[in-house]
Amino acid sequence: MKRISVFIILISLVFSLKAQESFPQYPSPMDIPVYLSATFAELRPNSFHAGVDIKTQGVEGKRVYAVADGYVSRIGVSPYGYGNVVYITHNDGYTSVYAHLQSFSKSIAKQVIDYQYRNKTFSASIYLSKETLPIKAGDFIGLSGNTGSSGGPHVHYEIRHTKSEKPVNPLYFGLPVTDDVRPNIKGLAVYPIDEESTVEGKGEPSYFSVEKKGKEYIPKGKEFVYANGTIAFGINTDDQVGSSPNKNGPFAYELYLDDVLSFRFVCDSFSYSEPKYINSLIDYKRYKEKSNRYVRTEVDPNNRLSMYELKKGVTKVNEGDTIAVCFKILDYSGNTSVAAFKLVGVAPVVVEREPLSRSHYFVKADGSLNNHIEIEDFQVSLEKNTLFRDTWMYTGATDPKGCCSRCYQFGEPTQAVFKTITVRIKPEEKWAGNSKLYIAYFENDGKISSLGGKLCSDGYVETTTRSLGKYALKIDSIAPAVKIQNFKENDTVTSSNTLKVKISDDMTGVETFNMYANDAWILGKYDAKNNLLYYEVDNHMKAGDNTVKVVVKDGVGNTTTKKVKVYRK
């Protein structure tokens, strides 16, 4: 094993060096030491991380610079996702992205404000020609922040291939990161693939915590795992980049069976059509139940994720066989961790399984069987290749309190889909045609969330979702909550004031938000993480008496309006 481990480390180093030689080398976008709180293709809910996150010493307001010559090709503003973001298209075929900014440089900010007032919108996606905002390497583009869906101050730094728009691992481009820490292996899994296969005498996955034995990890308390039939494997791991304590994702996952490389997954680049494949890469059921992610070596038939380099992670084990199983987990700097055990073949075991009821439908992934199901006043439709594999789906109906329809079930929350499914429910007759209806989703823990929905001409309410499980119709008759925070009737304000308003909606969510001064639209900025709508007083509010109006609408059209008179000096 030691000889193979050294060999793999050398392969990894050569691979990384070749990658660095084939990409332009950029300086850091910041003039502070580079520590990462997230790595490229790190496993996230329903997606892969498309860049790296550069820590900003726990604060906002650090200067961010362009890494190469080019032009600002796109600017984004959103209360979600990337927040304030700048895209710079370079002359070498790549585009750099800088997200979660607190603010923009003056020239970029002017483009944003002009667009927002022209279109009367806070959210913006602005595309620019190469002549509008040319950029030189080292030009200041904005201050670091915590906008959008950021969970703390940092800069999300991303490199994309301009033509294909595929994100590429930014470490290929020379980002100066020091890392001498090996990845951490936290758990191993062994999976029986079909109904005739068993692991440890059972027809279900076996999960093992691990312990160190020398330089290798092994299943805690054992070197041998007993199985029969067709078997796949899984691994739960993370990686610490240098002295940064954050638990990030590794660079490559490899599986060796009897010293033969059988599976390899490399975090190098992917298409923006691919992130939902993550729910096939990982053991999705385990993730939903235990909140930890095992990367699986079995590749589902409809998983077309491009980061797979080798897909032979399934093996056949018969009675009397012994197979050496070895995982190697590598980070970008070549630091490697190894987990190893022996898979021992035993005699076949007959496992009694609970028979499927008539409420189960066998759904073909290619759309040829049960891609449209109707139960009473419930319909569900799946496009071709919505599922990662052919799957049995449970269906049923119950009668919960407080709903405008029966509660219908299709599948389980622990089952993953690639594309959205269409869900349609017809309400009870007394609720027919009500414009405030929405489709509610019921989590296993009792939490209820809104999937939205539109009322169709045939009386059904329809929506699309990637969440399988239980659905019912509910009524949202409660308007959003709007609470003035730091100003009141007849207050005096100046250009140094920021007027703050708390807005929220517990059912169908805040759909639109607007602020006005004397019925003229003004730029209300929305911080969704803190339910805060705020206006930085500027020349769009005239001197003298002003009526500030806040209008907030939820997902079904319930609207709240607040008016406050203020005096501007």
pLDDT digits (tens, 9 = 90+) for 64-82: 999 999 999 999 999 999 9
Q: Which of 397, 355, 356, 392 is nearest to 375 (CA)?
A: 397
Look at 7-21, 269-283, 416-430, 460-474 and tell me which has the smallest mean pLDDT. Answer: 7-21
First CA to last CA distance, the chain: 77
Contacts of 348-354 with C-beta under 8 Å, sequence gap 24+, read 348/196, 348/198, 348/228, 348/229, 348/319, 349/198, 349/201, 349/228, 351/195, 351/198, 351/202, 351/203, 353/195, 353/203
Condensed to tens digits (0 to 9), the pLDDT of residues 431-477 reads 999 999 999 999 988 899 999 999 999 999 999 999 999 999 999 99
pLDDT(19) > 70: no
What confidence score (pLDDT) does residue 182 get?
97
Question: Which DSSP string corresponds to 418-486?
Answer: SS-EEEEEPPPGGGTT-TTEEEEEE-TTS-EEE---EE-TTS-EEEEES--EEEEEEE--PPPEEEE-S
Condensed to tens digits (0 to 9), the pLDDT of residues 159-209 reads 999 999 999 999 999 999 999 999 999 999 999 999 999 999 999 999 999
pLDDT(125) > 50: yes
Domain 481-568 sits in CATH 2.60.40.10 = yes
Question: Which DSSP string corresponds to 192-253?
Answer: E-STT-EETTBSS-EEEEEEEETTEEEETT-SEEEEEEEEEEEEEEEB--TT----B--SEE
Q: Which of 551, 546, 561, 544 is nearest to 487 (CA)?
A: 546
What confidence score (pLDDT) does residue 21 get?
52
Confidence of residue 152 (pLDDT cuts 50, 70, 90): very high
Condensed to tens digits (0 to 9), the pLDDT of residues 453-463 reads 999 999 999 99
Confidence of residue 352 (pLDDT cuts 50, 70, 90): confident
What confidence score (pLDDT) does residue 354 get?
86
Q: Report residue 567 CA to chain centroid gap.
A: 45
| Pairwise CA distance, residues 566 & 537, whole Å | 11
Q: Which of 390, 391, 396, 398 is nearest to 359 (CA)?
A: 396
pLDDT(10) > 70: no
Element (H, E) at 279: helix 278-281
The fraction of the chain above a pLDDT of 70, given in percent, is 96
Domain 360-475 sits in CATH 3.40.50.720 = no
What confidence score (pLDDT) does residue 434 get?
97
Q: Which of 378, 404, 409, 406 is nearest to 393 (CA)?
A: 409
Report helix, strand or coil for 340: strand
Which tokens hold the place of 389?
């594999």
pLDDT(332) > 80: yes
What confidence score (pLDDT) does residue 39 get?
98
As a whole number, mean pLDDT of residues 225-230 equals 98
pTM for the whole structure:
0.94
Give CATH 2.60.220.30 domain extents, the chain.
Answer: 360-475
Give CATH 2.60.40.10 domain extents, the chain.
Answer: 481-568
Is 446 buried (19+), middle (13-18) or exposed (0-12) by CB count in 10 A? exposed
Q: Which of 303, 305, 325 is nearest to 313 (CA)?
A: 325
Q: Which of 160, 157, 388, 168 is nearest to 266 (CA)?
A: 168
The fraction of the chain above a pLDDT of 90, given in percent, is 93
Domain 22-173 class, CATH top level:
mainly beta
As a whole number, mean pLDDT of residues 235-262 equals 97
| Pairwise CA distance, residues 454 & 348, whole Å | 53
| Residue 258, Ramachandran bin (φ over 0: left; ψ between -120 and 50: alpha; else beta) | left
Give CATH 2.70.70.10 domain extents, the chain.
Answer: 22-173
pLDDT(91) > 80: yes
